[in-house]
C-alpha cells in the first residue's frame, strides 16, 4: 500500500475536530472507528503506533484471521463489527468484538444473548436501521425500531446502546441522519453510529457519536 494511512488518519481527525467545533460539540463526544476491511496487519499496526485504537471490521472471518495477532501487541485496541452478522457467527463475534453495530432480527438477538451468557462477555450492541427500506440491505425498518428495541431488552435481555444506519448512496444523507437521531432519542439510546468517508462531517452535525471511516484513512480498496 503506497497510501500513507497515518496522513489519512491525521486529516480525518482534523475534519472531525472542525465538524465538532462547527456543531458546538466536544470532539471527545465522537469516536472515530477506522474501518480496516482488507487492510493488512502491518498497516493497521502503523496506525495503532500513531495513537489510534478503535477499529471496525465488516466480516467475522477476516477479523478472526488478523486481529488476535495484532491485539497480542496492542491490548488497548477496541474492535467493532460494522458489517452484517449471521446468527451462526454469533459465538465468534461475541468473543472477538467490543461492539456490534448490526443487530437486526430476533434470531440474531437470541444467538447473541445465548453467547453473552455463555462467555460472560457483553459487547456494546447497536441496532441497524434500514432507513431507506432498501431490499438489498439488512436492518430494521424505521416503523419497527421502537418495538424491536423493546424486544431486545425485554425478550432477550440485551442492553441496546444505540442505532446505526447507512443512508442510500443516491440520496442526501441528512433526512436519514435526522430520522435515526429522533428514533434514538425516543428510545433513550445514546450511541449513533452514522457517517462514512463521504459524509462523516455531516453526520457529526446531526449527532453521530461514532463515524466509520475507511477510504479517507486507508485509501481506496484494491
Domain segments of the chain as ranges: 5-218
pLDDT for the residue 221? 82
Q: What is the pLDDT of residues 89-122, one digit of tens each?
A: 999 999 999 999 999 999 999 999 999 999 999 9
Q: What is the pLDDT of residues 180-198, one digit of tens each?
A: 999 999 999 999 999 999 9
Q: Fold for domain 5-218?
A: TIM Barrel (3.20.20)
Buried b (16+ CB within 10 A) or exposed e, 61-73: eebeeebeebbee
Statement: the pTM of the whole predicted model exceeds 0.85: yes
> Mean of the pLDDT values across residues 169-187?
97
Angstrom distance (rounded) from CA 144 to CA 129? 9
Of the candidates 68, 69, 96, the residue with the CA atom closest to the CA atom of residue 83: 96
| Phi and psi at residue 187, to the nearest 5° | -100, 10
Amino acid at each position: 500500500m503506497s497510501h500513507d494511512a497515518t496522513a489519512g488518519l491525521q486529516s480525518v481527525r482534523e475534519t472531525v475536530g472542525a465538524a465538532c467545533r462547527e456543531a458546538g460539540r466536544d470532539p471527545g463526544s465522537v469516536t472515530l472507528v477506522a474501518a480496516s476491511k482488507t487492510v493488512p496487519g502491518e498497516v493497521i499496526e502503523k496506525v495503532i503506533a500513531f495513537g489510534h485504537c478503535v477499529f471496525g471490521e465488516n466480516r467475522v472471518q477476516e477479523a478472526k484471521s488478523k486481529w488476535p495477532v495484532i491485539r497480542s501487541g496492542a491490548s488497548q485496541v477496541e474492535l467493532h463489527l460494522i458489517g452484517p452478522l449471521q446468527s451462526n457467527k454469533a459465538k465468534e463475534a461475541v468473543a472477538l468484538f467490543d461492539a456490534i453495530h448490526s443487530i437486526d432480527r430476533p434470531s440474531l438477538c437470541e444467538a447473541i444473548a445465548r453467547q453473552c451468557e455463555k462467555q460472560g462477555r457483553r459487547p456494546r450492541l447497536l441496532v441497524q436501521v434500514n432507513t431507506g427500506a432498501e431490499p438489498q440491505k439488512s436492518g430494521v425498518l424505521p416503523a419497527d425500531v421502537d418495538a424491536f428495541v423493546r424486544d431486545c431488552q425485554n425478550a432477550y435481555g440485551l442492553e441496546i446502546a444505540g442505532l446505526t444506519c447507512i443512508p442510500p448512496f443516491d440520496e442526501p444523507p441528512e433526512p436519514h441522519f435526522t430520522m435515526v437521531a429522533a428514533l434514538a432519542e425516543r428510545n433513550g439510546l445514546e450511541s449513533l453510529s452514522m457517517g462514512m468517508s463521504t459524509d462523516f462531517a455531516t453526520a457529526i452535525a446531526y449527532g453521530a457519536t461514532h463515524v466509520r471511516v475507511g477510504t479517507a484513512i486507508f485509501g481506496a480498496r484494491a
